Amino acid sequence: MSIEISTSIRSLMMVAAVALSAPFAPNAYAIDVTQQIKEIENSPADGPNGEKAVLASDLKLTPEEIEQIKAKNATAAIVMHYTASDWAKAQMAGQKKALDELGIKIIATTDAGYKAEQQVADIESVMALKPDIIISVPAEQSATAAAYKKAAAAGIKIVFLDQAAAGMKPGTDYVSLVSSDNRGMGKVAALLMAKALNGKGEIALIPHASDLFATKERVVGFKEAIAAFPDIKVVDESGVGGPDFAGESERIASAMLTGHPTLNGLWAVWDVPTEGVLAAARAAGASTDLVITTCDLGVNISLDMAKNGYVKGTGSQRPFGAGYAEGILAGYALLGKEAPPYVVLPALAVTRDNLIDAWPQSNGDQAPDILVKAMN
């Protein structure tokens, strides 16, 4: 099991290095983006409570342990905050692959539509099925906490992704927290923005209006990295709350483009809000010099990138690999094996030059034909 995860991460880092070195020759400013990316990959940020980041490639199950897990005939429930994204689909595909390999049956999958009250109801419904494992990302940390604590008290082992419920402790209340290096992803998106703008311009940001640790880290990382470019000014910032992330982002981006006629760049927190930014840019007839960067690697933003559109790059995570790691940690829980509190996958820099090669490393399957054809 560990060999597959480790190989994937090494390949991913090689792909990122190629992407950054090929299209970006040194220019007027001194910051070496390629070196910056390497440093980000090699030094992922710590967890939400200062937990040391342990790479997913360090997770290991022996053949004997795998057989022990299979003999338990265990069950799992996947309790998602929402599933309407390429990221969520890749996460769940990775979870399923690992759980299948360990003989753990998925007995329920829920979608809360990014509403905490719905997720609480989903947890209660799932508990009635008495799964051994819950793999979940809270739609909201505090409002869902009591439900998760109730599940843990009932003996259900919980593996969290992206953030844990409020007041819960790893090793006691839950098994582990798995996340991409979201701060690193934000930094990568900022570096790609700066490179595309040649270190100068006015930009606007559309973060996530939420307490979600993962998305908060992205905007922190973006601002940390963009601060190294004094000639790039952040002139506007407005968060998107959802659940209609694309529609809301389109309205926000439209107002930004109208209010700042000299705007050179826009960053949105993940690919679905970025779809709204793209719609706004197209509707406004924005100059093709407008630079958009984001985080995550969905089909629609990738198509724009492939067609040499507004999207110049993304600081992507690897949802398939993260989902796979979550499944492996479910195995840890069933064995009573000590798990690291915080498991992370490094950021991935994606530009048009490495888009097709990076797709399977991020999403777990080959790039769709529509994307391959768009590159030609």
| Burial (Cβ within 10 Å: 0-12, 13-18, ≥19) of residue 28 | exposed
Q: Compute CA distances 10 → 38, 161, 346, whole Å.
A: 12, 22, 10
Q: Report the distance separating Cα 188 and Cα 75, nearest Å.
A: 38
Residue 242's pLDDT is 84
Residue 72's pLDDT is 98
Strand pairing report for 311-316 and 291-295: parallel
Residue 31's pLDDT is 59
Domains along the chain with CATH numbers: 54-180+319-345 (3.40.50.2300), 182-318+350-375 (3.40.50.2300)
Phi, psi of 342 (to 5 degrees): -140, 115
Residue with tokens 């089909």: 299
Residue 188's pLDDT is 96
| Burial (Cβ within 10 Å: 0-12, 13-18, ≥19) of residue 66 | middle
Phi, psi of 74 (to 5 degrees): -80, 165
Element (H, E) at 315: strand 311-316
Low-confidence ranges of the chain (pLDDT < 70): 1-31
Q: Compute CA distances 4 → 88, 95, 234, 326, 364, whole Å.
A: 21, 14, 41, 14, 12
Q: What is the pTM of this model?
A: 0.82
Residue 84's pLDDT is 81
Residue 60's pLDDT is 96
Terminal Cα-to-Cα distance of the chain (whole angstroms)? 36
Strand pairing report for 201-206 and 232-237: parallel
Half-sphere exposure of 164 (CA within 13 A, CB side): 24
Q: Could you read off the pLDDT of 159-182 as tens digits, one per residue?
A: 999 999 999 999 999 999 999 999
Neighbours of 365 (CB within 10 A): 12
Q: Could you read off the pLDDT of 109-131 as tens digits, one per residue?
A: 999 998 999 999 999 999 999 99
- AA letter at 92: M
Residue 25's pLDDT is 36
3-state secondary structure string across 238-283? CCECCCCHHHHHHHHHHHHHHHCCCCCEEEECCHHHHHHHHHHHHH
